[in-house]
Structure 1
Amino acid sequence: MFEDRLPVIRRYADLLAGPGTQRGLLGPREVERIWDRHLLNCGVLAPAIAARSTVCDVGSGAGLPGIVVAIARPDLRLTLLEPLLRRAEFLSEAVDVLELSNVEVVRSRAEDHSGAYDVVTARAVAPLSRLARVALGLCRPGGSVLAMKGERAAAELDEARPELAKLGVVESAIERLGEGLVPIPTTVVRLVAGEPKRRRPPGQGRNRRGGSGSARGV
């Protein structure tokens, strides 16, 4: 899966198992499952992104899937968007250690970030209906949101359809990536963005005190 980038992804695995666990970005029980549950699970996302795309990883956390995709695809330009300081610091350190010249770390909430990316990725950030409100606001027209989901992917997509229609989504689909490569394929909901005027811009819906109803500060 990672070909000549295997030494880099191994170094990242060491960072997750060491500093990442020590700082609470991953639970101690996850160390034994770093490869199958995290690295390979995220790695299968890389071939689903077109060459030389700009990508924003919302709520990047420990860099999953953003750093994994950046390692596997040096041709992509990645922005890792993370609002929490300790996570953003870990991401910046990891990018330096791994010498990822195609990655920028931005400490910000998605609602407060401006940009028009080809692809927006997210893993375990928020329910699809809430995630879509901010993620689609970061997509260029015709761009895609790739939301990594589990067993409830189909149910979340059905529940979100009224909201997606309001946001101007022109296409939605469930994709299972990595079949034949990994024991359990990764389930992804792909949303294709319509024209900006048909979608809610980032930050809309805040109350007068500047609060937001989104989950995990996405």
Structure 2
Amino acid sequence: VWGYLLGPLCRLKPYTLEWLRAYPLREGSRHKQLAAKLGGLLEVLKPSSEAGVDASNLPGSLVALPLFNPLREAEELRSKIKKCLGINVTVVISDSDRLYIHRSSGFALTSRRSALKRSLYLGFLAYIIGRTFRGKFAPFATPLAVVGEQLDSFMLLGLTELADRLRGSGAGRTVFEMAERFEVGLEEVTWRMLSSIKHCPAVLFKPR
């Protein structure tokens, strides 16, 4: 469906459509089953990173599961930084999955549950609407949890998007891109290959 109907509708790039059309059935079905269990129907129907299950930058057929409670993780991290360093920081946990901000109203449609206040969670429907009507919606990385000083929506989105760009995509944004980079099969990427790539899991912003 995504390779032939929804993908072109959402204006996905030609090479992305090729990857979707070559989606491996055996591995893909297992991935979809896991995503359905974790995120339900609205999540599993996304073309990639369904329910936050991410297979990029991992070897073989391993996947990274989403944080089950991002807010609690952010609170614990902030508490440990305060205890060890004696400083107060605002901790933002984000995901490269895009949410879509309506350019006129500033209201967001999200494909993941977000910490953004003025937002509506629609799962894969947010992805379709945001990409199909790109003139009316702007994509941003998704803040999943915020603990500490509360940031206004535009500051939060700006910092989240900037952090996402600074972190980069490591060995690739998708398993297809990663395998292509190393010139191996989808399940043939190794830790040794990945260790050759610079990885930046966190970004620190300091106000002037």
Please, what TM-score do these two structures have when normalized by structure 2? 0.27
Rg larger in 1 or in 2? 2
Please, what TM-score do these two structures have when normalized by structure 1? 0.26
From the two aligned structures, give the one with the greater strand fraction: 1
